[in-house]
Each structure stands twice: as structure tokens, then as C-alpha cells.
């Protein structure tokens, strides 16, 4: 069994990523920590509790940081809608699982201290919870053996010209995590833009004819329509690509690099500056996914969604 912890600002693509891991034989999700990002924390929490009930997740769910380390929260609700589910009308059922009373950062600390081997964490949002954990207790850094993070970019951004959304929300948190020596595996826009979904993929989920198939199909169609309102263009798979990289190492090519987040720039705040020329120019502090096997990522993710739809 591969036990992991998932840290997420649960919007639609986070949901698809959690499902991708949850459906893999041999992988267990020991806990979910929630963080503000795609939407304010109460919305993210509501999504997670409704998703847990709908898909039968059994792991404890903990509410985490409601704002980034510095400055006010910026959300993606202008793109993903108020509920961050990109839903175009479709909604998770109203029934909710229970929220665990332990705050997320405390729960993650307990889990890391108890983990038998260096632990694996999948982070799908701003790194605020992880940075807060490491600021409180830096001795936990060596207990994280792998931190796979959907975020950043070695090229252009999506939130701004320079910055990917998760990086833009909390750039200081990225540097706290890197400076703590956590081995970061960055699945940024470079890889995620090579793994795309289409309206036809949503149709295939709907065609399964089950309630969860129709729900996931409708949600996926809303997500595809972010790329073009008529659904003609494919949409990049963000968080699910990181989930696929975690559970199927061969679907990604990685390169060592030195990564630092820009926290000052007027036009570049949140940019992840990736120095590939390691160790000549700087010591590597991360592995960055730079080539994704699109067919393989799609198969891992879409098979998982179809299985969860049954
Ligand atoms: C990232 O930003 C969020 O909107 C998505 O959930 C994903 O984690 C993509 O830039
Ligand atoms: Ca996310």
C-alpha cells in the first residue's frame, strides 16, 4: 500500500485529481487538508464534504488556512464560478460527509510524525498549509519524502502572463517549502498543457448512464468550456495531471532544476523562476515535469473517472 496525503483547494479539477488517486489499487489517501485558493475556505470545504459523501471517500477531511501567508486571498471564481466547480449548472448532491475537528496543519503534522517512512504528499493548491506546517515545525521537513505539487510554470503563466494560479496565490509559501529542503516535484503548466480533455470525454462519461457518470460528465463539460464556450477546443488537465504523475511515474519526463518564486515583481509576482542549468548555475532543489505522455495521462485520469461513475 502507498499511503498519501492530499492538500487541496477543492474545485472541479481537484475533485478529478482526488478521484484519480482514490481509484488506484495500491494507493490509500490517509487524509485531505483543505486550503483557500480556487474559492474561499468555506466553499472549498463544502465542495470536499459533498464530494466525499457522493463518492464514498472515507479519509478524514480537515479545514486549513483561509488566507495566504501574505496579503489577501485571490480566488479563481471569475473562471470557475462561485462554487469553483466550473459546473455550468451541474451540482454535487447536497448530502455532506462530516468535517474532522482537527485543523489541517495539526492533522498533517500528526500524520507525518506517525508515518513509517518518508511520506508522500500531493498538493493541488496554494502551498499555504505546507508552508505553515514547516514554519511551525521545521523538523517535519525530512519526513516528507515526496511532495508532488500542481503549480508553477517554467514558461508563461495562466493567472497572469508570468504566474500560474496556485503560485500566484501564495508565492511566499513556495519559497518556505523549498527553503525547508522538501523534495519538490513540480507538475506545472509546462506538463499540464500537454495533457488535455475534450467535450467528447465528457460525453463518454454521460453515456455511462449512471447518476455519477452524468454528474462527472456535466462537470467535465463545464471545465472543457473554460477553454472555449462552444467546447470546440481542448482544455488542459491541471490537478489530474499531477495525480497521474504521482501514481504512474512513467507518464512524465522530469528534469532537475533550481526553482524560486518571485515575490516582489510588480508584473511577475508569483512567477516560478526555473533554472535548468544545474548544478552549473545553482544547486537543484526540485524536479520539474517537462514532458507529459498525453495518452497515458488521459488514460489514467479518464479510466478513474469512469470507474468512480459506476
Ligand atoms: C491550478 O489552479 C486552480 O484553479 C486549479 O485547481 C489548479 O490547481 C491551475 O493553475
Ligand atoms: Ca487546485
How remote is the CA of residue 211 from the centroid of ligand 2, in Å? 24
Low-confidence ranges of the chain (pLDDT < 70): none
Give residue ranges with CB within 6 A of ligand 1. Answer: 11, 13-14, 38, 76, 124-125, 150, 158, 164-166, 238-239
How remote is the CA of residue 166 from the centroid of ligand 1, in Å? 6
For a substitution probing ligand 1, which of 39, 79, 151, 166 has the most ligand atoms within 8 Å of its CB?
A: 166
Atom of ligand 1 nearest to the CA of 164: 10
Question: What tens digit of pLDDT does each residue of 261-295 get?
Answer: 999 999 999 999 999 999 999 999 999 999 999 99
The confidence score (pLDDT) of residue 117 equals 79
The confidence score (pLDDT) of residue 204 equals 98
How remote is the CA of residue 288 from the centroid of ligand 2, in Å? 18
Nearest CA to ligand 1 atom 4: 38
Structural domains in the chain, CATH included, are 2-309 (3.90.245.10)
Helix H, strand E, coil C: the string for the chain is CEEEEEEECCCHHHHHHHHHHHCCCCEEEEEEEECCCCCCHHHHHHHHHHHHHHHCCCCCEEECCCCCCCCCCCCCHHHHCCCCCCCCCCCCCCCCCCCECCCHHHHHHHHHHHCCCCEEEEECCCCHHHHHHHHHCHHHHHHEEEEEEECCCCCCCCCCCCCCHHHHHCHHHHHHHHHCCCCEEEECHHHHCCCEECHHHHHHHHCCCCHHHHHHHHHHHHHHCCCCCCCCCCEECCHHHHHHHHHCHHHEEEEEEEEEECCCCCCCCCCEEEECCCCCCCCCCEEEEEEECHHHHHHHHHHHHHHHHC
How remote is the CA of residue 150 from the centroid of ligand 1, in Å? 8
How remote is the CA of residue 138 from the centroid of ligand 2, in Å? 25
Amino acid at each position: 500500500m502507498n499511503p498519501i496525503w492530499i492538500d487541496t483547494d477543492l474545485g472541479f479539477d481537484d475533485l478529478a485529481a482526488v478521484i484519480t488517486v482514490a481509484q488506484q489499487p495500491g494507493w490509500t489517501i490517509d487524509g485531505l487538508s483543505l486550503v483557500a485558493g480556487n474559492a474561499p475556505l468555506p466553499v472549498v470545504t463544502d465542495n470536499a464534504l459533498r464530494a466525499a459523501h457522493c463518492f464514498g471517500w472515507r479519509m478524514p477531511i480537515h479545514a486549513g488556512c483561509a488566507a495566504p501567508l501574505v496579503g489577501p486571498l485571490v480566488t479563481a471564481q471569475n473562471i470557475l464560478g462561485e462554487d469553483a466547480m466550473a459546473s455550468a449548472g451541474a451540482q454535487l448532491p447536497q448530502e455532506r460527509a462530516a468535517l474532522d475537528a482537527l485543523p489541517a496543519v495539526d492533522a498533517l503534522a500528526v500524520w507525518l510524525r506517525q508515518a513509517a517512512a518518508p511520506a508522500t504528499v500531493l498538493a493541488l493548491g496554494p502551498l499555504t498549509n505546507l508552508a505553515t506546517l514547516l514554519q511551525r515545525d521545521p523538523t517535519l521537513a525530512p519526513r516528507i519524502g515526496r511532495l508532488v505539487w500542481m503549480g508553477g510554470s517554467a514558461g508563461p503563466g495562466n493567472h497572469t502572463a508570468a504566474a500560474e494560479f496556485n503560485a500566484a496565490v501564495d508565492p511566499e509559501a513556495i519559497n518556505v517549502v523549498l527553503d525547508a529542503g522538501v523534495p519538490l516535484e513540480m507538475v506545472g503548466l509546462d506538463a499540464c498543457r500537454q495533457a488535455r480533455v475534450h467535450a467528447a470525454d465528457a460525453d463518454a462519461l454521460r453515456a455511462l448512464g449512471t447518476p455519477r457518470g452524468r454528474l462527472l460528465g456535466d462537470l467535465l463539460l463545464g471545465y472543457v468550456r473554460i477553454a472555449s464556450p462552444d467546447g470546440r477546443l481542448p482544455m488542459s488537465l491541471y490537478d489530474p495531471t499531477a495525480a497521474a504523475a504521482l501514481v504512474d511515474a512513467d507518464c512524465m519526463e522530469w528534469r532537475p532544476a533550481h526553482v524560486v518564486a518571485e515575490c516582489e515583481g510588480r508584473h511577475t509576482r508569483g512567477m516560478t523562476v526555473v533554472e535548468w542549468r544545474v548544478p552549473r548555475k545553482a544547486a537543484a532543489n526540485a524536479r520539474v515535469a517537462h514532458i507529459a505522455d498525453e495518452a497515458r495521462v488521459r488514460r489514467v485520469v479518464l479510466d478513474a473517472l469512469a470507474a468512480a461513475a459506476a
